[in-house]
Amino acid sequence: MKILQGIPVSPGYRVRTAYLLNADGIQITEKTFSDPSRADAEKERFLEAVESSKAELYGEKERLRALLGQDMLQILVDYHLTLLDDKNMREEVITRIGRDLNTPEYALSLSLRRSIKALQGSDNEYLRQRVADLKDFETRLQRHLQGLRQESMSDLPVEVVIVARDLTPAQTVGLDRNKVVGFVTESGGPTSHTAILAKGLGIPAVVAVNGITNDILGGETIIIDGVKGKVMIDPNAKTRAEYEALEEEYNRAQVLLRTEFRYLPAETIDGRRMRLYANVEFPQEVDSAFEYGAAGIGLYRTEFLYTGRRQIPDEESQFKVYREAAEKFKNRSVVIRTLDLGADKIAEEVSNIKEMNPYLGWRSIRLCLGRPEIFRPQIAAILRAGAYGNVKMLLPMISTLEELGSAKRVIESVKDDLRKRKVTFNPDISIGAMIEVPSAALQAEGFADEVDFFSIGTNDLIQYTLAVDRINERVANLYQPTHPSVLELIRQVIDVGAQRKVEVTLCGEMGGDPLMTLLLIGMGLRDLSITPMAIIRIKQIIRNITFRHAREVAHNAMKLSTAGDIENYLREELAAIST
């Protein structure tokens, strides 16, 4: 399995066959000719190609209007039409044919090369983006000069994900909407043709995937993750099954989202109100969290600001990102987690130390406490964003009370700095601890005195309780969310929270698994933070159960002694719920 990263531009998931669209296989075989009497015929051939390109473009414009019912792509077609009518370009080509005895193909290429170079060197971003348009334009004209037909996306035998260097409006004409179900391109950005087209059609797409056209021959199974921007070629069985489930869930959620369901509360039949928050890993997910009707952001992971960067992000740029989320959710809470780097979340620029046991090593809060030049600007940015909405700060990987005390002292000292700098911030920001190490769960009482809220990170809690590396496939069967010991730790934290009036959220993946909903609600949780898309499905289950039943299920499950038995029991109970 090969995994590539690109930019997600249109959300959704696909597991399909890859179809490689060979965009520009055009070659110029003859550059000059020696007989001057041929010049007139060659000029004529060029002008004919201009005319037939024009006719083709007018046809495309009409079909694009029918396909998308919008003008954006038509603007691109118009740009090509303007270029075709450009007198200077035409005269330059004609001169080269007559004076230098260049073939029209070569003359055209030389003329456009100059314009492309000029655009590439421009300071203006818009002009630089026009380079791709000029290249498309050249391909079109060359194709007409050489009498080639354009490869189209109609007549496809099965549903496919199109893989291409870039998609031109011309290629998308005649696209069979029943067969083309995803796009991946090597170039492009959030405003590229592909992005516009994919969003217009509601088809998942990932652009700027380096090297994809070399890695694909066509016919392979490909997965595209239009939410996180990942592309996987020849996936293994586990990943494939995971994404097939995601695709199904996503599609189902889309249908429900178009109804009033989005606005309904996550409330059980007997009136127990739950709050479903969103986990956000990338800033673009803030919008989907909002769309899926999240009660707020329950976990804003901030590692994306650090990974793949050469420099540590400064306070100002972080502040901007956090403030945007805070303002979007107004008074709904936005829980920003301080940096949780290390182990599976690697940023070599920050921690390039090789460790024997990275999961037990210098990661997360441990790293932050040792690197104040990283920690302090982030704390300052979060405190400042707190002045623009209901922002809370969450400290990850806390394992001892001393560690929590140190982190809180740093926060106080950063507040002093901000006061001295006379910068606006929220001095009363809520501070929470992630409960993801068994020592913290077992000592929840002690932690309750020190923080405003708990967030149970089951992804790590399971790994540290059962001594199982969460990403090691060889021991995946031992990674058991329903292990009685894990459930016992969760229960203890929930109980302490209830006694001490400390809010408890669960933010691990387990919260988004429908199989766990009855159990977790029955254990007394009210707040779950899950991937935005899962909100729909979990809400659907909540609205079809009673709290009474959930309590009974939790009670029964906790009496069983193996993870397998508990899981089987939960499966039966879930199957009996009609949703």
Binding site for ligand PEP (CB under 6 A): 299, 301, 340, 436, 457-460, 507-508
Which option in ligand PEP, Mg ion, none does residue 508 bind, with CB closer than 5 to 8 A by kind?
Answer: ligand PEP
* Structure-token pair, residue 510: 């387990």
Phi, psi (5° rounding) for residue 434? -80, 135
Q: Which does 53 bind (CB under 5 to 8 A by kind): ligand PEP, Mg ion, none?
A: none
Residue 56 or 460 having the CB closest to Mg ion: 460
Rounded Cα distance, 539 and 287, in Å: 19
Catalytic residue status for 193: yes
CB nearer to ligand PEP: pick between 233 and 507: 507
Least separation in angstroms between CB 301 and ligand PEP: 5
DSSP 203: -
Is the distance from CB of 198 to CB of 175 less than 8 angstroms? Answer: no
Pick one of ligand PEP, Mg ion, none as the site partner of residue 458 (Cβ within 5 to 8 A by kind). ligand PEP
To which H or E segment does residue 103 belong?
none
| Rounded Cα distance, 536 and 246, in Å | 13
Task: Name the residue nearer to ligand PEP (CB basis): 160 or 367.
Answer: 367
Could you give the C-alpha distances from 559 to 46, 482, 483, 545, 569, in angstroms and in order? 83, 12, 12, 21, 11
Alpha helical stretches, state H, 16-71: 39-68
CA distances from 458 to 182, 295, 326, 404 (A): 33, 20, 25, 19
Position 303 contacts Mg ion (CB under 5 A): no
Task: Tell me the residue nearest to Mg ion as measured from the CB.
Answer: 460
Closest CA to 79 of 33, 129, 118: 129
Closer to Mg ion by Cβ: residue 509 or 552: 509
Cβ–Cβ under 8 Å, residues 226 and 206: yes
Q: Smallest distance, Å, CB 398 to ligand PEP?
A: 12
460 binds Mg ion (CB under 5 A): yes
Catalytic residue among 144, 368, 483, 507: 507
Q: 298 touches which of Mg ion, ligand PEP, none (CB within 5 to 8 A by kind)?
A: none
Q: How far is the CB of 313 from ligand PEP (least distance, A)?
A: 18
Identify the burial level of 124 via C-beta atoms within 10 angstroms of its C-beta, where 0-12 means exposed, 13-18 middle and 19 or more buried.
exposed
Q: How far is the CB of 436 from ligand PEP (least distance, A)?
A: 5
Q: How far is the CB of 344 from ligand PEP (least distance, A)?
A: 7
Q: Which does 342 bind (CB under 5 to 8 A by kind): ligand PEP, Mg ion, none?
A: none
Q: Burial of 400 by CB count in 10 Å (0-12 exposed, 13-18 middle, 19+ buried)?
A: middle
Site map 386..425 versus Mg ion, x via CB under 5 A: ----------------------------------------
Q: Taking CB under 5 A as the criterion, which residues in 427-456 touch Mg ion? A: 436
- Classify residue 104 by burial, with Cβ atoms within 10 Å: 0-12, 13-18, 19+: buried
- 10 Å Cβ neighbour count for 305? 19
Report if residue 567 touches Mg ion, rule: CB under 5 A. Answer: no
Least CB distance to ligand PEP at residue 484 (A):
19
The CA distance from 468 to 502, in Å, is 29
Nearest approach, Cβ of residue 507 and ligand PEP (Å): 4
Comparison of 105 and 340: residue with beta carbon closer to ligand PEP: 340
Closest approach of ligand PEP to the CB of residue 490, in Å: 11
Q: Which one, of 558, 298, 539, lies nearest residue 430 by Cα? A: 298
Helix axes 534-542, 237-257, angle to 10 degrees: 70
Could you tell which of Mg ion, ligand PEP, none binds residue 507, using a CB distance below 5 to 8 A set by kind?
ligand PEP
Among 169, 296, 457, 522, binds Mg ion (CB under 5 A): 457
Q: Token pair of 471, please?
A: 């990403």
Query: Where do we find the tokens 């026009």?
Result: 130
Separation of first and last alpha carbons in the chain: 35
Catalytic residue among 80, 144, 193, 483: 193
- Specify the residue, 394 or 542, whose C-beta has the smaller distance to ligand PEP: 394
Which is closer to Mg ion, CB of 142 or CB of 364? Answer: 364
Q: Please, which residue, 216 or 433, has the CB nearer to Mg ion?
A: 433
Q: Which chain residues interact with Mg ion by CB under 5 A?
A: 436, 457, 460
The residues assigned a catalytic role are 193, 507
